[in-house]
């Protein structure tokens, strides 16, 4: 009977110790805090709270906060102070999706938070979004053999499920996939070089890009401020377009005839281009002289400087009268 009782006590104590170890339970007194996250996906009650990788508390509760955020309630050993500048981030604990909260020293006040205080969203960071990460590798995965990728994924799942015999196969397929990627080292290198060139070019024009974005922002802001006037003018623009269309339709026959006549005029000018060219050369001098006659008002003012001619009299005699002025304007 004594042996049975002793065995039962030892078994209970061992079971309790094992349960405590597995659950990471702590019997120390703890202080409670809150942290607001933009996204707390995967954070569950009982998850670890760690400082520099050392467990110092656990998550107590996760709830929706202000409709678009999440508030996580967690505890920390009362022997440890949590400064107001503390940064709280969600980290991946393992490959099966478990998370933990990591507390790190931030920049700012070292004044300890009081129990029950809340760490704002500006001092928190959500976990890495693996969907975004894998989507970034999508072009690389498309260049790989789909069968190899599927086989590798299957081996990872079997290994995580505890099938130890799959480890060798997993390593083998991992090496094969790595070699496959290495075979495309030149392509990847060219991609990186091209990306560096693009980024370098963008950096070289950083000021211009900033100015462009600023001007674009001002332009969009101006459009937004004038949206009522713009939308109100659309009806008038539609009416104008319709009226213009009707006008063009009405004058189309006349325009067609004018175009035909213009073709004839153009042909005539081309046939006499030498005369036209000579006329254009003399026109400036003639126009300059002609402009003098109208310089006194809205009439032409002439002054006779020279005159000559021939007159045939009834008797048959020919006379040649001449006239020449000695005025200064005629010299």
pLDDT tier at 155 (50, 70, 90 boundaries)? Answer: low
Burial 27-45 (b: 16+ CB within 10 A, else e): eeebbebbbbbeebeebee
| Residue 54 shares a structural domain with residue 100 | yes
- Average pLDDT for 245-262: 80
- Average pLDDT for 14-34: 69
Task: List the single range of 135-139, 163-167, 171-175, 180-184 with lowest mean pLDDT.
Answer: 163-167
Task: List the single range of 60-74, 122-136, 303-317 with lowest mean pLDDT.
Answer: 122-136
Q: How far is CA 236 from the centre of its chain?
A: 34
- The count of structural domains within the chain is 2
Question: Would 246 be classed as within a structural domain?
Answer: no
Tell me what pLDDT residue 321 has.
85
| Residue 171 shares a structural domain with residue 118 | no
Q: Using N-to-C axis directions, what is the helix angle for 166-183 and 146-160, rounded to 10°?
A: 150
Question: Would 268 be classed as within a structural domain?
Answer: no
- Average pLDDT for 10-24: 64
The encoded tokens of residue 28 equal: 């120390």
Tell me what pLDDT residue 77 has.
92
| Residue 112 shares a structural domain with residue 154 | no
Tell me what pLDDT residue 27 has.
58
Question: Would 270 be classed as within a structural domain?
Answer: no
For residues 42 and 97, the model is more confident at 42
| Residue 83 shares a structural domain with residue 157 | no
Q: How far is CA 214 from the centre of its chain?
A: 13
Q: Under a CB-based contact definition with an 8 Å cutoff, are residues 103 and 50 in contact?
A: yes
- Average pLDDT for 261-282: 86
| Residue 98 shares a structural domain with residue 46 | yes
Model confidence at 116: pLDDT above 60: yes
* Residue 241: how many other CB atoms lie within 10 Å: 10
- Average pLDDT for 60-72: 94
Average pLDDT, the chain: 79
For residues 102 and 303, the model is more confident at 102
Count of all residues that appear for the chain in the document: 331
Question: Would 120 be classed as within a structural domain?
Answer: yes
Model confidence at 194: pLDDT above 90: no
pLDDT tier at 70 (50, 70, 90 boundaries)? Answer: very high
Among the listed residues 298, 294, 304, 302, the one whose alpha carbon sits nearest the alpha carbon of residue 325: 304
Question: Would 59 be classed as within a structural domain?
Answer: yes
| Residue 51 shares a structural domain with residue 137 | no
- Average pLDDT for 21-34: 72
Tell me what pLDDT residue 134 has.
63
| Residue 122 shares a structural domain with residue 142 | no
Compute the distance between CA of residue 285 and CA of residue 291 in angstroms, rounded to an integer: 10
Model confidence at 157: pLDDT above 80: no
3-state secondary structure of 100: strand
Q: Express each pLDDT in 166-176 by its tens digit.
A: 555 655 666 66
Q: Express each pLDDT in 204-251 by its tens digit.
A: 778 778 888 888 888 888 888 888 888 878 878 888 888 887 777 777
Tell me what pLDDT residue 36 has.
96
Compute the distance between CA of residue 243 and CA of residue 246 in angstroms, rounded to an integer: 5
Question: Would 6 be classed as within a structural domain?
Answer: no
pTM for the structure as a whole? 0.40
Range of the domain at 149: 132-183
Compute the distance between CA of residue 86 and CA of residue 271 in angstroms, rounded to an integer: 91
Question: Would 123 be classed as within a structural domain?
Answer: yes
CATH number of the domain encompassing residue 120: 2.40.30
Question: Would 307 be classed as within a structural domain?
Answer: no
As a dihedral over the C-alpha atoms of residue 202, residue 204, residue 208, residue 213, rounded to 10 degrees, the angle is: 30
pLDDT tier at 132 (50, 70, 90 boundaries)? Answer: low
- Average pLDDT for 299-316: 79
| Residue 102 shares a structural domain with residue 152 | no
Among the listed residues 131, 89, 87, the one whose alpha carbon sits nearest the alpha carbon of residue 109: 87
| Residue 162 shares a structural domain with residue 93 | no
| Residue 72 shares a structural domain with residue 139 | no
| Residue 120 shares a structural domain with residue 161 | no
Model confidence at 161: pLDDT above 60: no
| Residue 73 shares a structural domain with residue 145 | no
Domain boundary pick from 163, 183, 203: 183
Tell me what pLDDT residue 20 has.
60
């Amino acid at each position: 009977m004594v042996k049975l009782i002793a065995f039962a006590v030892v078994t209970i104590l061992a079971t309790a110790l094992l349960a405590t170890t597995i659950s990471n339970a702590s019997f120390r007194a703890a202080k409670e805090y809150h942290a607001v996250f933009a996204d707390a996906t995967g954070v569950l009650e009982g998850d670890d709270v760690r400082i520099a990788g050392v467990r110092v508390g656990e998550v107590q509760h996760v709830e929706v906060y202000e409709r678009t955020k999440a508030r996580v309630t967690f505890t920390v050993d009362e022997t440890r102070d949590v400064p107001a500048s503390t940064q709280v981030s969600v980290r991946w604990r393992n490959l099966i999706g478990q998370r933990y909260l990591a507390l790190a020293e931030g920049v700012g006040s070292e004044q300890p938070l009081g129990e029950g205080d809340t760490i704002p969203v500006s001092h928190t960071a959500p976990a890495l979004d693996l969907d975004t990460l894998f989507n970034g590798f999508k072009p690389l995965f498309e260049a790989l053999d789909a069968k190899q990728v599927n086989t590798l994924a299957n081996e990872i799942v079997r290994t995580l499920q505890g099938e130890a015999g799959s480890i060798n196969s997993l390593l083998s397929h991992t090496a094969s996939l790595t070699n496959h990627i290495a075979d495309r080292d030149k392509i990847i290198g060219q991609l990186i070089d091209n990306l560096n060139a693009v980024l370098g070019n963008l950096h070289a024009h950083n000021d211009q890009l900033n100015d462009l974005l600023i001007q674009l922002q001002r332009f969009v802001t101006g459009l937004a401020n004038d949206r009522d006037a713009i939308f109100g003018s659309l009806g008038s623009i539609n009416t104008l377009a319709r009226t213009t269309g009707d006008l063009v339709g009405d004058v189309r026959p006349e325009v067609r005839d004018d175009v035909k006549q213009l073709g004839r005029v153009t042909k005539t000018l081309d046939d006499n281009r030498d005369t036209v060219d000579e006329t254009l050369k003399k026109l400036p001098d003639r126009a300059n002289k002609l402009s003098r006659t109208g310089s006194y008002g809205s009439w032409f003012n002439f002054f006779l400087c020279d005159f000559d001619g021939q007159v045939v009299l009834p008797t048959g005699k020919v006379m040649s009268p001449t006239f020449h002025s000695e005025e200064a304007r005629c010299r």
